[in-house]
């Protein structure tokens, strides 16, 4: 009888240990699978950024000279070092409110246009109610996206977020800043998220926004330039 009890206790102990080991094995398998999923998600995000950069560079190399109508320069950097006299008169640099600058930027391959929503609407049709301002701008951006193939993101300050938003036009992403954030904060995040080398155009007449995004490598265009471009669409 005592032997049987000892055998029973040993079997019970072995069964308990087996269950514990199986649970540890299952936990380890779950941890490995979670790590794999995290790795795949991170790789997918990195791959997307790399694809955008490669496509941007490839398109730029093939079409940038034609799209910007660049002529061979009359003066090379070495000429300036050698003291060669300038030929002709220099052309003024394009301003951010120049609609021709925006047209050239929209011709860049895989360009991403990020719009400071209320900064544009209040510059162009601030007399309208906010809902109509948003609708008019987003509709115009939909036409622009269809004409140029650009990726377009329009960011509004979330303090004026409506309870319901109509569907956005194809090719246009409409966002409202979260509580405690401004549209400027969201715009800076978009610029920072893009890979170096991709053309990003930020439309805003806010001097602080414009200066900040230029330091990050993005192009700055004034609200009036976009309004003039939408007026031609």
Distance CA 41, CA 121 (A): 37
Distance CA 129, CA 124 (A): 12
Q: What are 114's strand-pairing partners? A: 153, 202
In the prediction, which pLDDT does 186 show? 92
In the prediction, which pLDDT does 170 show? 92
In the prediction, which pLDDT does 153 show? 95
In the prediction, which pLDDT does 162 show? 74
Tallying the residues shown for the chain, one arrives at 233
In the prediction, which pLDDT does 223 show? 95
Low-confidence ranges of the chain (pLDDT < 50): 76-94
Residue spans per domain, the chain: 1-69, 99-232
Radius of gyration of the chain (CA): 29
Distance CA 131, CA 52 (A): 34
Domain 99-232 has CATH 3.30.70: no
In the prediction, which pLDDT does 227 show? 96
Q: Could you report the per-residue pLDDT of 6-47, keeping only the tens digit for each?
A: 667 777 777 788 888 788 888 888 888 887 887 777 667 777
Distance CA 84, CA 123 (A): 46
DSSP 202-217: EE---HHHHHHHHHTT
In the prediction, which pLDDT does 17 show? 80
In the prediction, which pLDDT does 78 show? 37
Global pTM value: 0.62
């Amino acid at each position: 009888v005592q032997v049987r009890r000892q055998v029973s206790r040993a079997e019970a102990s072995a069964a308990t240990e087996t269950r514990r080991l199986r649970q540890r094995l299952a936990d380890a398998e779950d941890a490995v699978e979670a790590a794999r999923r995290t790795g795949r998600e991170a790789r997918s995000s990195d791959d997307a950024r790399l694809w955008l950069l490669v496509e941007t560079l490839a398109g730029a190399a093939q079409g940038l000279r034609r799209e910007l109508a660049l002529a061979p320069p009359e003066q090379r950097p070495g000429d300036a070092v050698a003291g060669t006299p300038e030929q002709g008169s220099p052309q003024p640099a394009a301003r951010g409110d120049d609609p021709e600058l925006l047209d050239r930027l929209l011709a860049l391959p895989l360009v991403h246009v990020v719009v400071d929503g209320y900064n544009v609407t209040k510059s162009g049709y601030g007399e309208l109610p906010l809902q109509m301002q948003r609708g008019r701008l987003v509709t115009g951006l939909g036409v622009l996206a269809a004409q140029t193939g650009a990726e377009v993101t329009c960011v509004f300050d979330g303090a004026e977020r409506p309870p319901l938003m109509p569907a956005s036009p194809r090719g246009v992403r409409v966002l409202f800043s979260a509580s405690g954030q401004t549209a400027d904060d969201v715009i800076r995040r978009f610029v920072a998220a893009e890979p170096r080398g991709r053309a990003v155009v930020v439309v805003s007449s806010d001097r602080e926004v414009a200066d900040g995004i230029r330091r990050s490598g993005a192009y700055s265009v004034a609200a009036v330039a976009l309004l003039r471009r939408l007026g031609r669409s």
